[in-house]
Amino acid sequence: MEHITKDLVRKFLPPRPSNGHKGTFGKVYVLGGAVGYTGAPVFAAEAAVRTGSGLVFTGVPKDVYPIAAARCTNAMAHPVPENYPALLERLQACDAVCIGPGLGRSPQTEETVLSLLRDLTCPVVLDADGINAAAVHIDVLAERKAPLIVTPHDGEFLRLGGDIKQAREQSAAEFAARYGCVLVRKGPGTVIAAPDGRLLRNPTGNSGMAKGGSGDVLAGMILSLLGQGAEPFEASAAAVWLHGKAGDICAGELSEYAMTPADLIERLPAAFRSLGMEDRPAETGQKILD
């Protein structure tokens, strides 16, 4: 199986034209949060900013809004509209949406997630409790209108009906083909599978990333690249590699024991710099670092 390389990541990253503005680089939305789970949407939103998004919105329930708003120093938090048409309209105005970080589980949440999956037309990253909600009615994945990236760990993959006894590559490929989505099967050697049969395995990352919140960081990174115009498979592969590279930098500086998801976000600039793209000529439209 082919591994993700620096050359592929350079190729997959969306352009950064020198005359761009915040609207050029994507307007994205993180829908998540619940009592006891306020960190997850914040991690996802802050990671999206660090990965290059021009505008990042975070919708959380109003009872946890003050906490999320205080922690979102770079993203814009707001209470989720309680009226479904208003929520749908707000999400549809974005270039990409992430559903699930810290969202919690309830019948109302499940109903909202299933409705959004049926109605949204902008690209969607389905993560964490968004996956758990979809598992209640798995056929919604085939009923959707939007491009979709699903990011399960093994437990979530099992709830979705995936076969965790099969080889990771085979099970990921079969799921992606069955539901016409990109599957990011997380874990050591994360596998990215496209519905057309493309497969990539990630070589970066370490056990220090096996902590709550790391997946939320990854979801925000994928969301960011998707909102900047990268294709779903390419956005997923580039984000997974950079996420793991940031983790390896953290491990080298802090140890695998002491590193945290917040440390991953802080090391994303170094992960991008490791690609050696800051000196690329401006006329290519690929100047990554200003």
In a domain, 136, yes or no: yes
Paired residues of 29 in beta bridges = 57, 97
- 1 assigned to some structural domain: no
Beta-sheet strands, E only, within 151-278: 182-185, 191-193, 199-201
What pLDDT, on a 0 to 100 scale, did the predictor assign at position 9?
A: 98
pLDDT band at 278 (very low <50, low <70, confident <90, very high): low
Residue 204 pLDDT more than 50? yes
pLDDT, residue 277, reads 79
Residue 289 lies in a domain: no
290 domain residue, yes or no? no
3-state secondary structure at position 10: helix
Q: Which pLDDT belongs to residue 87?
A: 98
Q: The pTM is what?
A: 0.95
Q: What percent of the chain has pLDDT over 90?
A: 94
List the domain range (segments joined by +) for residue 161: 6-284
Asked if pLDDT for residue 97 goes beyond 70, the answer is yes
pLDDT digits (tens, 9 = 90+) for 151-191: 999 999 999 999 989 999 999 999 999 999 999 999 999 99
32: amino acid identity, one letter: G
Inter-residue contact 160 to 135 (CB < 8 Å): yes
pLDDT in tens, 121-152: 999 999 999 999 999 999 999 999 999 999 99
Q: What mean pLDDT do residues 220-243 have? A: 98
Q: How many domains does the chain have?
A: 1
Number of Cβ within a 10 Å radius of residue 23: 10
66: CATH: 3.40.1190.20
